[in-house]
Amino acid sequence: MTVHNEIDIAEVVRRSGVPISTLHVWERHNLITPTGRSGLRRQYEDGILQRIAAIVLLQRGGFSLAEIADLLNNGMPGDDKTRIATKLVELHRRQDELTAAITGLEHALSCQQPSLMACPTFQTMLDDALPIKPT
């Protein structure tokens, strides 16, 4: 039989790095639930740390708090998989956008021009980032 240790909210903050104000918000959105209280202080089952890691990963994946609550609280039915597949398309696009932004900024660092907009190399990268439609 596995022993489930209860851990204090202070320890959750310390070990996860997630600030207490964020934990309060997540609780209001039904993402996390304390198992009880010690006086006023929230106590959690130690599995909360894995759950928090999952929330962080899904948030980086661009899911809203409401979507994450859905994914974690309900099982993983077929339409969840559809939503994940849709998100993945968007994530690959964001990866490309991020790469373009990095390329542009790295050039800006080495550029001798007096301002960003005066740099011809930066200019040519812009159209790549946000395609301007013809007149």
Q: Contact with a second copy (CB under 8 A): which of 1, 21, 39, 50?
A: 50
Q: How far is the C-alpha of 92 from the C-alpha of 80, rounded, in Å?
A: 19
Q: Quote the least distance from Cβ 29 to a second copy, whole Å.
A: 17
Instruction: Name every residue whose Cβ is closer than 8 Å to that of residue 124 and which is 6 or more positions away in sequence.
Output: none
Query: Stretches 18-26, 83-91, 102-110, 126-134: which one binds DNA (CB under 7 A)?
Result: 18-26
Instruction: Name every residue whose Cβ is closer than 8 Å to that of residue 70 and which is 6 or more positions away in sequence.
Output: 80
Mapped onto helix, strand or coil, the DSSP state of residue 45 is strand
Note whether 30 binds a second copy by CB under 8 A: no
Note whether 22 binds DNA by CB under 7 A: yes
Closer to DNA at the Cβ: 22 or 103?
Answer: 22
CA distances from residue 70 to 12, 22, 27, 56, 77 in whole angstroms, order as listed: 23, 18, 14, 15, 11
Number of residues that bind DNA (CB under 7 A): 20
Q: How far is the C-alpha of 39 from the C-alpha of 32, rounded, in Å?
A: 19
**Chain positions contacting a second copy, by CB under 8 A:** 11, 14-17, 49-54, 56-58, 60-61, 71-72, 74-76, 81, 84-85, 87-88, 91-92, 94-95, 97-102, 104-106, 108-109, 111, 113-117, 122-123, 125-127, 129-130, 132-135
